[in-house]
Amino acid sequence: MKEREHLNEKRIKEISGAQNGWQQIFDAMPDIMAEIDPDFNIVKANKALADKLGVDRESLIGKKCHEVFHNASEPPSYCPHHLSISTGKQQFNELFEKNLNGYYLFSSTPIYDGKGVCTGTVEIGRDITARKRMEEELHKSERRFSDISENALEWVWEVDAGGKYTYSSPVVEKILGYSPSEILGKHFYDLFYQADREDLKKAAFEAFAAKQPIREFINRNIHKNGKTVWLSTSGIPILDNNGDLMGYRGSDSDITERIASEMDIREQEAMATAISSSSLDAIIVINGKGIITFFNKSAEKMFGFTQGEVIGKELHRLLVSREAMQQYFLQLPEFEKTGWCKVVGRTLDLNATKKDGSRFPIELSISVFKKNDSWYSVGSVRDITERKKIEEKLHKTSVTDELTGLLNRRGFIALAEKQHAIAKRTKRVFSMLYIDLNDLKSINDQYGHKSGDMAIVDIAAILQKTFRSSDIISRTGGDEFIVLIVEARSRDIERTITENIQRNINNHNTRAKRPYELSISMGFSHFDPAHPASINVLISQADKQMYREKKSKH
């Protein structure tokens, strides 16, 4: 009898652990998810879907999927569930969903019982509105150098560099029970759960020190009435003109319901099977020793390993850098004991390693669960190679001139300020050259704007030929260029540069055989470390001298 009771207790622990683990995966997923029966009725829905629609999860149960997703009385021909049921195959569709207020990439996967009968589908929808907007912003930035806007979350706040709240939106009262006036003056960690406070505080200030964005930083807090509230925190650093940290601005969302919810083990196992084949992200589960226990199909495709090659192996010896592996094993004893380390509950941008040894950028989100009295972690991995390329291209277009490929004014000032700081510190000299292309309006009027653009491009090429690669060349206006000449050592630098530029212009006019001849006006200024002038003053001085020369030619 005692042996039977012992076995029952053991089974209950196993079931509870599995429930908790797969519940973490289901509700921790940022994508919207639902299980739908063959009659188009929603059987289950995750919190992300309910939150997106602004309704309670229970109110979705029994509704028709096409009414919720497509706002249609009958299932349209493009309905992923309809296609998945009719074909018996997994379906992928990219759709604009009015009810969800955005673009979504849907995957629909059939679920079969033990007899091979289809009992419904699992729908996963990823919000790709941000990606669509980023693509649109990239297109605009190539012409207008626009920035990408960010969406705000629920409780909006600001803190100073020491973590003290300097602004709080009224939503904080709904989440934590405190009015904004009661929050002001508190530190963000004052309301953290006592047992977590020091570790969370340390992790947060590491981000502060690195001036890095904070994404989905999970933290337990104490409500004014004493109850526990789980929050997901996201924020970006606020920097002054010198790049020094002034504080952070961000938002918190209440995820208490998500953390607390549980599911039945059979539902979890069925859902886990569908997730493992349908998820667009790699999902990897490791135990407290760092051993891989789960590796889905997307992980196989992303990393190049098969499940058979990685299950039972140490993840940190296969997929991460040596530095990351060393940091992990330093924290391993604490994770085995408490299920907590500084990366849990955060979204990190890292580099990972494929089977062939190549490195690629990923976005990693980590959550934890306990099974059979042992801690496990679940990693959701997203390949962000394309996003990094877009970000790099956006940065390049924001600091370069589209016509000539030279730095624009913004890019020039940024590099010139760095050179200015170096010159002040090392007591070195440099010179500023301001150049104006003469008679550009006449070229445009007589030969057309294409000829005018060609004249600008020709001058840019002449300047690149004349100056060293260490000099900073920019186009700062329609017909104006500025060059910062690094460590100008010649005592007669103005004469030397003038002769070199004029010689290259004369050679160009002879060879190019344009219907017009290029000519320029120039002005110089010089940085004296004994009496250091600002970049703007040096530009102004060179500009004035250039106009005096230009005036003398007319």
Looking at the chain, the whole-number percentage of residues with pLDDT higher than 70 is: 82
**Residue 177 pLDDT > 90, yes or no?**
yes
| CATH class held by domain 400-552 | alpha beta
- Distance, C-alpha 363 to centroid of its chain: 8
Sheet holding 520-527, edge to edge: 472-475, 480-486, 430-437, 520-527
Residues 154, 171: Cα–Cα separation, whole Å: 7
Place of tokens 């569930």: 81
Q: With beta carbons less than 8 A apart as the criterion, state whether 539 and 430 touch.
A: no
Q: What is the pLDDT of residues 132-143, one digit of tens each?
A: 787 777 666 545
Sheet holding 102-112, edge to edge: 42-45, 32-36, 118-127, 102-112, 91-97
The closest alpha carbon to 101, from 32, 29, 28, belongs to 32
Q: Would 18-131 and 281-388 be classified into the same CATH topology? A: yes
Residues 239, 236: Cα–Cα separation, whole Å: 10
Q: With beta carbons less than 8 A apart as the criterion, state whether 529 and 421 touch.
A: no
Read off φ and ψ for residue 534, nearest 5 degrees.
Answer: -75, 165
Query: Mean pLDDT over residues 161-181, rounded?
Result: 91
First to last CA, the chain: 112
**For position 65, what pLDDT does the model report?**
85
Please calculate the CA angle 340-342-346 and round it to the nearest 5 degrees.
100
Place of tokens 């929808």: 125
Domain residue extents for the chain: 18-131, 150-259, 281-388, 400-552
Residues 542, 536: Cα–Cα separation, whole Å: 10
Say which CATH architecture domain 281-388 belongs to: 2-Layer Sandwich (3.30)
Residues 476, 410: Cα–Cα separation, whole Å: 8
Q: What is the pLDDT of residues 245-289, one digit of tens each?
A: 999 999 899 988 888 764 444 555 556 666 666 677 888 888 877
Query: Mean pLDDT over residues 139-159, rounded?
Result: 56
493-512 and 449-466 are packed helices; what angle lies between their axes, rounded to 10 degrees?
130
**Residue 502 pLDDT > 90, yes or no?**
yes
Q: With beta carbons less than 8 A apart as the criterion, state whether 291 and 312 touch.
A: yes
CA distances to 82, 165, 174, 228 from 57, rounded to whole Å, are 22, 33, 20, 22
Structure tokens at 477: 């206006």
Superfamily holding 150-259: PAS domain (3.30.450.20)
Residues 387, 169: Cα–Cα separation, whole Å: 31
Amino acid at site 328? Y
Least confidently predicted of 62-66, 320-324, 464-468, 486-490: 320-324
CA distances to 169, 176, 266 from 183, rounded to whole Å, are 10, 10, 44
**Residue 379 pLDDT > 70, yes or no?**
yes
Place of tokens 């074909």: 87
| pTM tops 0.85 | no
Whole-number CA gyration radius for the chain? 31
SS3 track for 519-545: CEEEEEEEECCCCCCCHHHHHHHHHHH
Structure tokens at 98: 């009015």
Structure tokens at 318: 């296969």
**For position 547, what pLDDT does the model report?**
93
**For position 394, what pLDDT does the model report?**
59
Q: What is the pLDDT of residues 394-445, one digit of tens each?
A: 566 678 888 888 989 988 998 899 999 988 988 889 999 999 999 999 999 9
Query: Mean pLDDT over residues 28-49, rounded?
Result: 86
18-131 under CATH 3.30.450.20, yes or no: yes
Amino acid at site 292? I
pLDDT band at residue 366 under the 50/70/90 scheme: confident
Q: What is the pLDDT of residues 2-23, one digit of tens each?
A: 554 554 455 545 545 545 555 5
pLDDT band at residue 97 under the 50/70/90 scheme: confident
**Residue 390 pLDDT > 70, yes or no?**
no
